[in-house]
Amino acid sequence: MAQPKAVRAAATAAAVVPDIAAQLDLASACINGAGSMMAAPAAVGRPPLVVIGHRGKGMNSLASPDERLREVKENSVRSFNDAARVAGVGYVEFDVQVTKDGCPIVFHDNFIFTEQDGKISEKRITDLPLDEFVSYGPQKDRDKLGRPLLRKLKDGRILRWDVRSDDPLCTLREAFEDVDRRVGFNVELKFDDDLVYQEEELAGVLQAILKVLFEHAKDRPVIFSSFQPDAALLMRKLQDQYPVYFLTVGGTQLHADARRNSLEEAVWLCRAGGLQGIVSEARAVFRHPSAVARVKEADLSLLTYGQLNNVPEAVYMQHLMGVDGVIVDLVQEIAEAVSGFAGVVAPEPSPEEGQAGRLGLDTAALAKKTPNFSQREISFLLRLIPELVQ
């Protein structure tokens, strides 16, 4: 497909196409031991694990007893800046959709809910004009009262979107202008799994997003990602300035589109379309650890997401397996844990040194630097093992 003139001109105007490894500070060195539960990490010089804040400083789980998941409004400028202030956070991840009148906005859900005169109503985000979208929730003008903002949970309940530190809904441009420039952006190209998109429609959405980036991203590191295979491939065709990653559940759920159903399919898609990396559900990596080696052999970066990434032990295991970065909700806690991972990798020892030696670990350093995890976290991870190995 030929590039649209505006996009082609903007891409050509870029002085240098950034190298993916430089942009992410992630290594794509191959790892050994593909059949092991924990493949051996690269020995000396492996970059630290990249910590990426999920929807900023964490997604909002309105029904969770964990108050940390209601600390600050997800996908807001405040949440992004809160995450940026945490030492060790390299990127924030957020979802971008495009309004009916062509403005890229930051919002995760496909539908927005409100209440008026005791009645709850819903509207599809992409059917809203910008002025209506920003009218929900708290307003920039504190003298104005926004429409009530509610959220539908997976179990069907609809709750008021109450958080401890609220913030107005924002556009993609506002994110680029108002968020600390030291933090990179992982821009998820958000599409509805229940809809079928034609290439022309996808192209219109992606071009609107690219226009904002070319005008406002400046030198901020940015990567794109999407669960929508055709959107990811098309974004790669439209530009070569920013890396594009394919998001996948890795077989933890089944989709009609086979390209979304395994890490093997994800590797094939990335190689065929020239994508630079994969973002996988963490459970898929634990269920199929040998796939990590195949990702690395394809010269792709590997990030993960999911609830397991809020458990320091699970994050540490992924670090040993060769995962390059983790998208997390408990940003402060995981960033602190990851800071203790450095320095535990030693040169490959002799076979006589036993299992710890075969994993390439300096056990003395490991004892000193591995974070001290709570019994609750250890129990949580152990309870998940039977599911992970199914």
Residue 387 in any domain: the answer is no
pLDDT bin (cut points 50, 70, 90) of residue 354 is very low
pLDDT of res. 75: 98
Residue 204 in any domain: the answer is yes
Q: What is the extent of the structural domain holding 245? A: 44-106+170-341
> Percentage of the chain with pLDDT > 90?
73
pLDDT of res. 245: 98
Query: Is residue 21 pLDDT above 90, yes or no?
Result: no
Burial of 72 (0-12, 13-18, 19+ CB in 10 A): buried
pLDDT of res. 11: 38
Integer Cα distance of 274 and 267 in angstroms: 10
For position 266, which CATH number holds?
A: 3.20.20.190
Cβ-proximal residues to 385 (8 Å cutoff; 6+ apart), any chain: none
Residue 48 in any domain: the answer is yes
Structure tokens at 148: 């009530």
Region 157-182: mean pLDDT is 97
Residue 112 in any domain: the answer is no
pLDDT bin (cut points 50, 70, 90) of residue 376 is low
Three-class DSSP category at 95: strand
Integer Cα distance of 353 and 355 in angstroms: 7
pLDDT of res. 359: 32
Q: Compute the C-alpha angle 94/18/21, nearest 5°.
A: 75
Residue 276 in any domain: the answer is yes
Residue 73 in any domain: the answer is yes
Residue 360 in any domain: the answer is no
Residue 233 in any domain: the answer is yes
- 12 vs 375, more confident: 375
For the chain, the average pLDDT equals 83
Total domains in the fold of the chain: 1
